[in-house]
Each structure stands twice: as C-alpha cells, then as structure tokens.
Amino acid sequence: MLIPLSWLKEYVDIKIPFQDLARKLSGAGLAVEKWEEKDGDIIFDPEVTPNRPDWLSVYGIAREIAAITNSKLKVQSSKSQLKTQNLKNPLEIKIVPNYEIVPRITSVIIRNVSVKPSPEWLQKRIKQIGLRPINNLVDITNYVLWLYGGLLHVFDYDKIHGHQMIVTLAQGGEAFRSLDGLDYNLPKGAIIIKDADRIIDLLPLKGGENTSSTNRTKNVLLHSVVVDPVITRRTSQSLGLRSDSSAVAERGLDPNSTPIAVKTALQLILECAGGQMASEIIDHKEKEFKPWVVKMGHLRQEEILGIKISPPEVKNIFERLKLKTTIKKLKNDSIYYVTIPTFRNDLHIEEDLIEEIGRIYGYNNFPKTLPFGPIPTSTVAYVRNYDLEYEIKQILASFGYSEIYTYSLISEERLNKLGIDSTKVLRVDNPISKDYEYLRPKLLGNLLEALKNNLPNFDEINLFELGKIYQGETLNKVNEKYSLSGIISGTRFYEAKGVIEALAKDLQINYNILPANKQIIEYWDQPNRAAEIVSSNRTLGYLAEINPIMLTRWGIKERAIYWEINYELLEKLVNKKRVYRSLPNFPATTEDLTFTILHKVLVGDIMTTIKEIDDFISTVSFIGVYENNYTFNISYQSLSKTLTGEEVAKIREKIIKVIKEKFQASLKS
C-alpha cells in the first residue's frame, strides 16, 4: 500500500527527515523499508502486519506518527456540516441487512451527479497511490478507502431493481459479472447483495457490472460496509481475489469506519460531481459499537518487559496512542484501566497493552540481560542427540565422504526409476511441480542423482546423507525416520565395507555383515553383491553394489556401491562407554596357518569358526588367498600365563581338525 508523505503531512506535523521517520515507524512495528522519491514527494511502501488494519490507511499511519514523534494529530475531516435542505423528494431504498455477516451498512443516495474525470488534485493522489484515475465517483471511493480504511462502493441507483438491497450469502455456483467485466462463479457462503432480481454486489471484493456507474449515471447510492473478516478471507482466497479492500476487511474493519467514510465521500462527491443528497444517511447497524476497557497491572508489565518505567510514563504512552487511561493505585501495584477505541481491534488482553509500551518505548532502548535462575536439569521431551549425529558425520568426512542435503520431495519419475510403486508413497496434495510431489521413502534416488551429476567432474566420489525418510503407505501409518546412506563410485565394495566397519568399531557396535537374504534383496541390489548389516539379530542396514540395470536407468555408466543404515537403530546400539582393559602381562604367540580349500567358501565363516574354537585365540585376521590357499594370522594369548609350546600346539591341532571337517580343507604345510 503506497502512502505519500505529503498526504500524511495533512494530518500530522512531521519535522524529522523522512528516513528518520521511516526508521522510527519500523522500530514501532510498521516496517517502512521501501520508498520512492517522486515529483518532489516521498512515497512510502510500508509492510503492514496482519494485526493492524488501522495502518492500512493514511489517517491510521498519521495517528501512529503522532504517537511515536509525540506530535499533534489533526482531527478527522468532514468539518462542513452536510446540508440536507434538498431532501424534498427523497429517493427510496429498502435495505435488508444481515448483521451476522455484515454488522454495519451505512448508505446515502445522491441525485443529479455528473460523472466525469476527477479534479487534478484528486487524480494526482490516485496516481501517487499506484491506481489509475477512472472517474470522479470511483476515484473518491478509492481516496476515502486510502484515507480512512473505510470500504465504499457507488451504485447507479436507477439500475437497482425494485430499489431494494438484500444482504445474504451465496448458495454457491451463481454467476456474477463484476464492474470490470470479469465473470465469477461464486463460492458458497460469499457475502452478496441482491436487488429484486439479481446479484448486484460481491462484498467487499467487487461491485456488479449490472449496477455500476457509467457516464450516463445520474443518481447514485453510496454505501460503506463492515463485513465478517473470516468469510471475506475465504471468499477472496477461493476466487484468488486480493485487493486493498480485502486486505483491510480480512484484518477486521473498524465498525465505526462507515459513517466517517460515507460522510467524507459524500462531501467530496458533492464537491466534485455536483448533485444533491436524496436521502438521509441511512445507518443499519447491529448495535452501538463502543470502546472497551482493558485492565493492565504495572507489576505484570514490569515482569514481562523487564524495564523500569513509571506509571505516568506508561499513561503518557497510552494517551499518545489515543488510549484513554486511568490509574488506580494499590498498595504494591498500579492498575491501568485503558479504554480501547474501535479502530484498535488488536488490543484485548493485558499483554497487548504491554506490547504497546514496549514498542513505543523502543526495544533498542531496552537493557540486555540473560535469563536469571538455575539451568533446567530435567530432560526435555523429544530430546535428540545432535552431538552423536555430528560425531558420526565427522567420522564419515574423515574417511573421505562428503555430506549432501537433498530435497525430501521427489518426483514420481524418480520413484518409478527406483522401482517403487508411487501409490504406496506419501504425497503432497498441492506440489509446486511434478518434480517435487512425493515424500522420499529412501535416500537412494537422490544419492544416485548426486553421483551422476558429479561424475563428469570427479574420478572418485564418496557421498553420504543423513536425512529423514518417510514411510508408511498412508497417513494413518506415517513413519518419519532418519536414514544414513552413502554412495561411492566404482567397484570399491570393500572400501565401503571398511568404512562401515570402522564406524561400527568407533561407536562400539557389535555387528556382522552377511550375504543378504535372497528374500530381501531389493530391486536395486546386484544380487550376489549385496550384504546385510546385522546387529543383535536386527537389520542395521544394507551394503550392496547397485544393479547395473538400475544404474542404466539413471544414465550412470560407471558402477557404484550403496549403503544404508537404519539410523534410529544405530542410535540405540551406540555404546559411548569406554572401559579400559589393562595391557596383557604375558606375550602372545602368533603364527600363520594356510588352508587349501577347493570349493567356494566365505572367509567370514572360517574366521568366525576359528575365533570360537578356543578362548586362548585372541585374534584371527585374514592375510589373503592365493590359488585356493587361504592364509590366516592367529594369535594365542592367555591373560594369566605364558602359553607353552605344547598348549599352543593343542589349540592349533583343534583348529586344523575343525576347519578340515567343516570346510573340507587341508592344511598346507
């Protein structure tokens, strides 16, 4: 909403430079960050918060300026008394109000107007506020809307069938053509005015073409309304109609805005379009709209703001804001009784008034403190261990992985490429595009895409993401959880495995990496190169070479290894406790044993088997395989004595026997 500085100056003395004024207004909550210097004037473009309909008007802003600069506000206009001597042949209108939806409707009829271009001063104002001058009647309604925030509309009186106006709600589906020639299909519950036959107004958004004023119009009906803000918002949203009028109406109109708006517009019409009043000012209202009183305690104010301010200063701030205040002194406190005018519908509770003190006092003048009192010791609900997350990420980065953050919303196409049925994936109803429609059930797709995009620039790529995935086919079974997944280029399966092993070791998680069960090998796995990471009989994750078919779908010509870890399970398995074990007092005996095994065998199985043969076997490691000869390095150690050659020989014999039998192996001498 554009506000010319010269217009503000008609209502309040402004002695400070406009930049300082803008700064002060912003500090008090009316953000004036943008302005334009135009033809010797300054045009402010303030941003008005949803709680302040009164700031959507020149007069409202002038009132704020008067308060923050402590200067005098000129009284609202309509100084001349409206002459009613021409009411010899009054024109009739029958208005049927509906106070539930339109609490107030104030009207007047004027005869013999001349519709013509506005005088120059008015056209200038209309242009300054970013509108196009149309004719004197329309320009005047816009002028008064800007000045006082009152909603006005002019009807061609002679076109109102039956000279009756019935306020009601649309049934839904009615056709309506607005005065700017656009056709609307009205939503159910929109506020409308009907004459004897037709819909003539969509309140407060658009007047009807059927009763709009034209150059031939002679007699007009001018009215100003107060409408229900919620209905207005719904209607304007469903029709996609946002206007300056709807902005004021949605925030809540001042119920006492209609008489002043009508009187001001009437006077201007008589001045600029001639004519005479053909009716009294007809004011239909639900009730008298009276100011209300809000009580505020001085101690409460001190508790919330934390500043020292005296009761007279508080009273002064309120009075500058046109809030009449009386103070009642108690023994330990002072109570303020503050009268709230109807244009301040944002002030209802004690805290609202406290905010008025704060913003006029100026937050930049507040001292800065930190909360006093003990730091809470009980664990907060929904606590999450971000330190662990950071530690894990750092470990992965130290192993050469780079962290990525990708979109949680992905396309159906991406799901299809992953072989995931999109009907079983959570979806947003109003995606911004097809590219961002489904909530990712897996990180794999985004990692593949990231790999692909990096391949032209890098030979070796290691990426990981720790992010949310969203499972559960329907909303009833939503399961939003963390997944930790990585992807690396090439066939470096054992490098990927090594990273997982090192991570597990660092976090002290017992695990086993086994060939993945055929039942659970998914579409993306390369069947004989897929492993399952198992811990405490639960699946901690998967590690696999990606199926070449899948890679082809993504247009990736290289091979790639992927791993994913159920992060929430990982969090539970992590053991941060470190217990020192003293160094062994007795030396270990170490030797290599080589077995010849002629058929395919899992080295992991052999190692596990050896380890379990005797308690004195302290470590088993795999040295390598050469032409069916598998070499293991075995350490024998006791914590309580030095093992003798005979003792070691006994264990060795046991190993040879077990491995021979279990794996049809022979010891290579």
Site for another protein in 192-251 (CB under 8 A): 229-230, 233-234, 250-251
Burial class (CB in 10 A: 0-12, 13-18, 19+), 37: exposed
Rule CB under 8 A: say whether 552 interacts with another protein. no
163 sits in the region (left: phi over 0; alpha: psi -120 to 50; else beta) called left
Binding another protein (rule: CB under 8 A), the pick from 13, 33, 180, 313 is: 33
Rule CB under 8 A: say whether 73 interacts with another protein. no
What residues have CB less than 8 Å from 309, skipping those under 6 apart?
301, 302, 357, 361
Phi, psi dihedrals of residue 343, rounded to the nearest 5°: -75, -5
What residue has token string 């539930």?
100
Rule CB under 8 A: say whether 21 interacts with another protein. no
Q: How far is the CB of 261 from another protein (least distance, A)?
A: 21
Binding another protein (rule: CB under 8 A), the pick from 81, 85, 215, 379 is: 379
Number of residues this chain uses to bind another protein (CB under 8 A): 94
Which residue, 161 or 359, has its beta carbon nearer to another protein?
359
Which residue, 127 or 233, has its beta carbon nearer to another protein?
233
Rule CB under 8 A: say whether 408 interacts with another protein. yes
DSSP 463-498: EEEEEEEEE-SSGGG-EEEEEEEEEEESS-HHHHHH
Rule CB under 8 A: say whether 397 interacts with another protein. yes
What residues have CB less than 8 Å from 228, skipping those under 6 apart?
100, 101, 102, 103, 191
Binding another protein (rule: CB under 8 A), the pick from 274, 431, 490, 515 is: 431
Q: How far is the CB of 476 from another protein (least distance, A)?
A: 6
Site string for another protein, 42-61 (x = CB under 8 A): -------xxxx---------
Which residue, 68 or 137, has its beta carbon nearer to another protein?
68
State which of positions 247-306 bind another protein (CB under 8 A).
250-251, 303-306
- The stretch among 12-20, 148-156, 424-432, 508-516 that binds another protein (CB under 8 A) is 424-432
The DSSP bridge partners found for residue 591 are 634
Long-range pairs for 229-232: beta carbons < 8 A, 24 or more residues apart: 229/253, 231/101, 231/169, 231/189, 231/190, 231/191, 232/191, 232/203, 232/204, 232/205
State which of positions 463-482 bind another protein (CB under 8 A).
463, 468, 470, 474-476, 478, 480
DSSP 33-101: --EEEETTEEEE--B--TT-GGGSSHHHHHHHHHHHTT-PBPPPS--SPPP-TTTTSPPP-EEE--TTT
Q: How far is the CB of 362 from another protein (least distance, A)?
A: 8
State which of positions 157-196 bind another protein (CB under 8 A).
none
> Cα dihedral angle (208, 213, 217, 218), rounded to 10 degrees?
100
- The stretch among 187-195, 322-330, 349-357, 655-663 that binds another protein (CB under 8 A) is 349-357
Site string for another protein, 558-597 (x = CB under 8 A): ----------------------------------------
Q: Under a CB-based contact definition with an 8 Å cutoff, are residues 377 and 85 in contact?
A: no
Q: How far is the CB of 39 from another protein (least distance, A)?
A: 22
- The stretch among 58-66, 215-223, 392-400, 555-563 that binds another protein (CB under 8 A) is 392-400
CB neighbours (10 Å) of residue 627? 5
Determine the Cα–Cα distance for residues 157 and 159; give it in Å rounded to an integer: 5
Binding another protein (rule: CB under 8 A), the pick from 363, 494, 523, 586 is: 363
Rule CB under 8 A: say whether 351 interacts with another protein. yes
Determine the Cα–Cα distance for residues 184 and 177; give it in Å rounded to an integer: 6
Q: How far is the CB of 425 from another protein (least distance, A)?
A: 10
Q: How far is the CB of 262 from another protein (least distance, A)?
A: 26
Determine the Cα–Cα distance for residues 58 and 56; give it in Å rounded to an integer: 7
Rule CB under 8 A: say whether 127 interacts with another protein. no
Rule CB under 8 A: say whether 332 interacts with another protein. no
Q: Under a CB-based contact definition with an 8 Å cutoff, are residues 401 and 565 in contact?
A: no
Q: How far is the CB of 44 from another protein (least distance, A)?
A: 14
CB neighbours (10 Å) of residue 322? 15
Which residue, 284 or 320, has its beta carbon nearer to another protein?
320
Binding another protein (rule: CB under 8 A), the pick from 38, 197, 293, 366 is: 366
Determine the Cα–Cα distance for residues 590 and 618; give it in Å rounded to an integer: 10
Binding another protein (rule: CB under 8 A), the pick from 16, 428, 514, 549 is: 428
Q: Under a CB-based contact definition with an 8 Å cutoff, are residues 54 and 63 in contact?
A: yes
Phi, psi dihedrals of residue 8, rounded to the nearest 5°: -60, -40
The DSSP bridge partners found for residue 283 are 106
DSSP-derived pairing of the beta strands 462-471 and 402-403: parallel
Which residue, 257 or 267, has its beta carbon nearer to another protein?
257
Q: How far is the CB of 396 from another protein (least distance, A)?
A: 6
- The stretch among 71-79, 105-113, 369-377, 631-639 that binds another protein (CB under 8 A) is 369-377
Rule CB under 8 A: say whether 28 interacts with another protein. yes
Burial 382-405 (b: 16+ CB within 10 A, else e): eeeeeeeeeebbeebeebebeebe
* Cα-based angle 531, 533, 534 (whole degrees, multiple of 5): 130
Binding another protein (rule: CB under 8 A), the pick from 132, 384, 557, 611 is: 384
Which residue, 401 or 630, has its beta carbon nearer to another protein?
401
Determine the Cα–Cα distance for residues 410 and 439; give it in Å rounded to an integer: 6
Binding another protein (rule: CB under 8 A), the pick from 40, 120, 331, 383 is: 383
CB neighbours (10 Å) of residue 631? 15
Name the residue type at position 166: I
Binding another protein (rule: CB under 8 A), the pick from 430, 519, 537, 669 is: 430
Determine the Cα–Cα distance for residues 105 and 122; give it in Å rounded to an integer: 26
Binding another protein (rule: CB under 8 A), the pick from 85, 88, 331, 386 is: 386
Rule CB under 8 A: say whether 364 interacts with another protein. yes
- The stretch among 92-100, 266-274, 454-462, 626-634 that binds another protein (CB under 8 A) is 454-462
- The stretch among 216-224, 361-369, 576-584, 632-640 that binds another protein (CB under 8 A) is 361-369
Which residue, 20 or 197, has its beta carbon nearer to another protein?
20
Rule CB under 8 A: say whether 87 interacts with another protein. no
What CA–CA distances, in Å, run from 143 to 147, 241, 264, 494? 6, 20, 10, 76
Rule CB under 8 A: say whether 461 interacts with another protein. yes
- The stretch among 198-206, 373-381, 505-513, 528-536 that binds another protein (CB under 8 A) is 373-381
Which residue, 363 or 622, has its beta carbon nearer to another protein?
363
Rule CB under 8 A: say whether 63 interacts with another protein. no
